[in-house]
Structure 1
């Protein structure tokens, strides 16, 4: 690596002098001196490099440090910001940075460099894998993502020099990834600017049209806004409150999303201005709320108390929408000075205000809990796409706040159910939940929760997760734990089924399965790419390997020569779980002649012998197995029955009563017909063919039933 001599500090850029002047307001002189060294080192490393705008490259690290300086981050973070591109764009090593600026700074630069190496693709699996990398970097040190967010913000501010297609790609990344993370970390200013810049570059025409319309409307509404602002100040003063009141124009992206979601034209979006009231303490917030209500009428259902129940990112304010003069709705936010600081800085307030304040501690505890829960989800997820599915729920939440029986508040995503609540309380409660009480009344587990609900979960020691829960749970934690349980259960059942299939194949070769040595198993597992004998058996149970092939590979040549000396039939009990599937095309039931087909990723699929669907594939003998029903089967099976009836009043009730009288349950019914005849197609639960015959005999006794058949294929 070439040696670099540091240039004289007098040669610093004006932007650097301005930055260090700003930072000296809260950093110690020793910290400023260290940052100046980092700046000079970075400038030397980037010497001769220029941005596409033509500016010296060092202007970019300076701008990133400036953004973080406004958040008053610590000197280590600022030094890493100044150095964040030297490892990626120059020959500087991590060891050299560690020697010169300390290990923490080097680790931060290394973390940001790894994020910079992420190439976001349009392919979902690649993008999902990149999310995993980003999360791991965040979990190690949240300052890594703070630097990356500042880096992205400056790049978005200078995006005009890029080609249009690259601008759109970067803008889409920003709105899908970086802006939601900034929001989740409570960095409100960065979040809003990233959204606005992303909107501007992703939809340039829409942005220009909306910007022009807003500018035109601004002049027309300026007088109204000034009048409202003055009225609010006077009313708060009359209430004896010292308050800072500001009017603000809504962001273009916020107006645009409202137009899209509510199908409004721009002229129909009346509340494009909002007002913020900042007071000294929490009691004053509620006094100010009362003063505003005495000035303008509140709109019912539009009040939100984020002070009593803070958002997941620590944000606190009173939100209210009021009817202003001339029937114009206006939005008002009321908060304390401390709440305003946290609302602007979010998780960065830890460095911005060195304090033992309980709110700040609670905010960072929540952030750490969120990161840890995502790490837990990551470890539970089988692949990147599954993890991405969980992560998007956590990044794009609409909050629902509910109470435990002890009065504790839990924040859940919009659409969360009682099962999501159970897993949010504790994994064991989620795994063992059987019922729920919402506001003291029994409710189904799939019930969607609403703000203010008091939820109590009823558990049972024998209970276990139900696969049907995956159809309605929304939180990543619930989905990942349910899937993990199901995969574990599927694995164990697949191992048992694989062992049964292999034993049958070995016996058909005249080989005693107990005579297979551990050495033979280890060799075969290694050659098959399986980690262990158990994994190999599970793969066989799921149809990944054919038992006949595995048996021959385990057997000695002399054993294969005597193949055909014996045979085995797989006994089906109906309790094998997910390792055995009953084909939907023919719905086999005990008493039917059946055959088994080994299907990849599904395991053993059972068909009836006369199933029309399998007639074309019966020639592939390696995939087919002899199977038979066991003697003791204590479960019900689905069967399809079609009944043609005379179209008379009450006939459906009589048919349903006959089915119930025969001890069967109706899973599904579909009807089709004309004025004379109606065809009823039932999916019934039966024990066996004898039970089905009883049901059909009972139906034939109904005078209106003209015809009844069992449907296969």
Structure 2
């Protein structure tokens, strides 16, 4: 069995690497590693890269006091333990020369080829670009690196090795810098290593981050583990002998080793379960490595015959592998003295993949189908990153979606065709829909879970059979953002809503601009493409719709844009004086503008109400009733409001509030609800004033109506119900009515 994964584990277990001799000397750490699997000509090419990097970094010293070249050589050693190919080792040696020296990516391409240059470029930070904030710079660095990784996964392998060595030598940094780097490592780099199946790198990054973020806790748990190792030595030795003997009895050829849980994993379990260290029994477990897959289940049967298994503590990751390709059988047994014993059972090949993950493609050059599946899963995850990138408008959005997508815990559900889909814990039916395809997500209207209809917000559980029902006219709902957990779903929903809002805002903006142009006695049709192009250049935008959108969202004044458009015509427009008066005064509200038009919750305007419109920055056009108290202060400033009117034909429903005083009798609420339904209206919400022993009660409804006529019909119908004493339309939020009335009483 190849020893590369074991070498890697030994290398990264050191808090700081041993001093390295020059890379091309006979006994150097890098030379020893490369001779295990490289041809002499490949080794010479790597040494040429070493000499190139050594010259570039000549005279530069790290904060640790060592020559700078020791860092890229250490990174190359970590990757050599993974048996990575020549371009990756060269990229490791050269990964800092573009960032820290005058050498360019083009220089590397001419010297070592395009492949190495692209790997180095993918790892290189964007320090030479100015950003508005440190968080934006960090986000853009991740974005660039991960997009390069989506083209070639070796980019992230180099970056992870780079981060691992930086963490091993972090003691030279200032304490605040240590914590900052450790937090970034724990939030992003360790989860990526886990997602790619690089188990040893993942555990080392977590432990090192833990050491610098919580040094006292790290020290306490470390000492406790050392003490427990000694205290439990006799029990561990007895269990190890029993397992080895039992496997021989069942004729299972296996290698049995001890496995110690890494420190951050222990700490995470203690904090998550509020458990003291003395009650964490699976600190030390066992790993059984057999020859092939049938041997895994044979070994499982042998161990279950030896010690009683705990039923709730068995997981079969062979039948259903983790998303990062990890396969193993996990079982917890009740050992001697009732002590729980955790055992992992896997084949040699599964063990190699568990340690090397996606790097196993280079490490073992195996043609086994399982590696192909692993590569496909990795490709799908990288493709999701590309999808998120395409849907995210900026770097901070992308980083937020990435963090969401790096959930370590997963649930496994079945598609209607029987395929298994891995989703993050707490994923909902909407997350599932977007995981299948973005079009399915955008058009989903309902879901069947285990053949029964369920709400779209339902959280999925392991083994659920999920079927999405779509509608041709359906579209994403903004409320979905409250419960989706995957970055892919969140990115697609936000992209759709932003696009829809931008489109609707552009329509409103065009109508506002046309109004302003007509007020200047200019026909909007006379504004030529040349005029628009000049204005777009002046504003620094690419499309006309961007300007219209900004007008609709209140970010630009329609009158100002109109004046600038007219000014660009150099007097070539004919002025019109006989324009319809309506065009000069009003904007028509159709009621279907959804994202770009907001109906004020303070007065709930409905068609038929006299209305005013206010352009609010970032909210677009906000519609109020004429008598709304909120608009009184704006009426004195005509620049802040504009006259609007309803489109004669409206099909949508609008919210309005009703206050009913009724006899305090059983069944009244049901009678009123039935009356509202009979009038063709919907109940959006209802609240009841707290009973105070009175013979009457106040009910507050938010109902949906088409217009004032519909509302009048509804109110007439409700007055006919016996014991309805009074009914009137109210303004404001009904959720506060009962409280306010009670206080005033």
TM-score in terms of structure 1 length: 0.93
The 3-state SS of whatever aligns with 2:232 is helix
The equivalent residue for 1:446 is 457
The equivalent residue for 2:632 is 615
Counterparts of 2:637 and 2:163, CA distance in 1: 57
The equivalent residue for 1:257 is 268
2:340 corresponds to which of 311, 329, 341: 329
Deviation at 1:268, TM superposition (A): 2.0
Deviation at 1:706, TM superposition (A): 4.2
- 8 A Cα contact 2:122 2:144, kept in partner: no
- 8 A Cα contact 2:522 2:576, kept in partner: no
Cα shift readout 1:336-386 (whole Å, capped 9, x = no counterpart): 101111111111111111122211122122212211221121111112222
- 8 A Cα contact 1:509 1:565, kept in partner: no
Structure 1 residues 650 and 525, CA gap change in structure 2 (3 angstroms)? same
2:599 corresponds to which of 551, 576, 582: 582
Instruction: Map 1:185-264 onto structure 2 (within 5 A).
Output: 185-264=196-275
The equivalent residue for 1:366 is 377
- 8 A Cα contact 2:634 2:641, kept in partner: no
The equivalent residue for 1:667 is 684
Structure 1 residues 227 and 15, CA gap change in structure 2 (3 angstroms)? farther
- 8 A Cα contact 2:517 2:524, kept in partner: yes
The equivalent residue for 2:12 is none
1:685 and 2:704 aligned: yes
2:306 corresponds to which of 295, 305, 318: 295
- 8 A Cα contact 2:660 2:728, kept in partner: yes
1:543 and 2:554 aligned: yes
Structure 1 residues 244 and 704, CA gap change in structure 2 (3 angstroms)? same
- 8 A Cα contact 1:71 1:348, kept in partner: yes
2:151 corresponds to which of 119, 140, 146: 140
Instruction: Map 1:75-154 onto structure 2 (within 5 A).
Output: 75-114=86-125, 124-154=135-165
1:516 and 2:527 aligned: yes
Instruction: Map 1:301-450 onto structure 2 (within 5 A).
Output: 301-450=312-461
The 3-state SS of whatever aligns with 2:551 is helix
Instruction: Map 1:630-669 onto structure 2 (within 5 A).
Output: 630-669=647-686
Deviation at 1:45, TM superposition (A): 3.4
The 3-state SS of whatever aligns with 2:257 is strand
Counterparts of 1:169 and 1:121, CA distance in 2: 19
1:709 and 2:720 aligned: no
- 8 A Cα contact 1:121 1:127, kept in partner: no
1:462 corresponds to which of 473, 477, 485: 473
1:596 and 2:607 aligned: no
The alignment covers a number of residue pairs equal to 705
Bigger CA drift: 557-566 or 304-313?
557-566
CA RMSD of aligned residues (A): 2.7
Structure 1 residues 107 and 702, CA gap change in structure 2 (3 angstroms)? closer
- 8 A Cα contact 1:98 1:105, kept in partner: yes
Instruction: Map 1:473-552 onto structure 2 (within 5 A).
Output: 473-552=484-563
Deviation at 1:606, TM superposition (A): 1.1
Cα shift readout 1:260-317 (whole Å, capped 9, x = no counterpart): 1111111222221121111111111111111122122222232222112211111111
Bigger CA drift: 249-258 or 476-485?
476-485
- 8 A Cα contact 1:120 1:130, kept in partner: no
- 8 A Cα contact 2:521 2:576, kept in partner: no
Counterparts of 1:703 and 1:565, CA distance in 2: 51
Structure 1 residues 16 and 504, CA gap change in structure 2 (3 angstroms)? farther
The 3-state SS of whatever aligns with 1:245 is strand
The equivalent residue for 2:483 is 472
Counterparts of 2:237 and 2:361, CA distance in 1: 36
Structure 1 residues 630 and 57, CA gap change in structure 2 (3 angstroms)? closer
Deviation at 1:31, TM superposition (A): 1.4
- 8 A Cα contact 2:25 2:31, kept in partner: no
Bigger CA drift: 229-238 or 552-561?
552-561
- 8 A Cα contact 1:16 1:62, kept in partner: no
The 3-state SS of whatever aligns with 1:307 is coil
Cα shift readout 1:130-176 (whole Å, capped 9, x = no counterpart): 32122123223222221221121112112222222221112112111
Counterparts of 1:525 and 1:593, CA distance in 2: 37
The 3-state SS of whatever aligns with 2:633 is coil
Structure 1 residues 665 and 101, CA gap change in structure 2 (3 angstroms)? closer
- 8 A Cα contact 1:646 1:704, kept in partner: yes
Counterparts of 1:149 and 1:41, CA distance in 2: 23
Structure 1 residues 106 and 692, CA gap change in structure 2 (3 angstroms)? closer
Structure 1 residues 359 and 581, CA gap change in structure 2 (3 angstroms)? same
Cα shift readout 1:568-623 (whole Å, capped 9, x = no counterpart): 42222322332222111100012211111122222221110000111112233223
Bigger CA drift: 304-313 or 113-122?
113-122
- 8 A Cα contact 2:145 2:155, kept in partner: no
Structure 1 residues 399 and 31, CA gap change in structure 2 (3 angstroms)? same
- 8 A Cα contact 2:554 2:617, kept in partner: yes
Counterparts of 2:378 and 2:138, CA distance in 1: 23
Counterparts of 2:325 and 2:132, CA distance in 1: 32
Counterparts of 2:708 and 2:644, CA distance in 1: 17
Structure 1 residues 335 and 119, CA gap change in structure 2 (3 angstroms)? farther
Bigger CA drift: 650-659 or 330-339?
650-659
Counterparts of 1:40 and 1:491, CA distance in 2: 54
- 8 A Cα contact 1:552 1:560, kept in partner: no
Counterparts of 1:11 and 1:159, CA distance in 2: 22
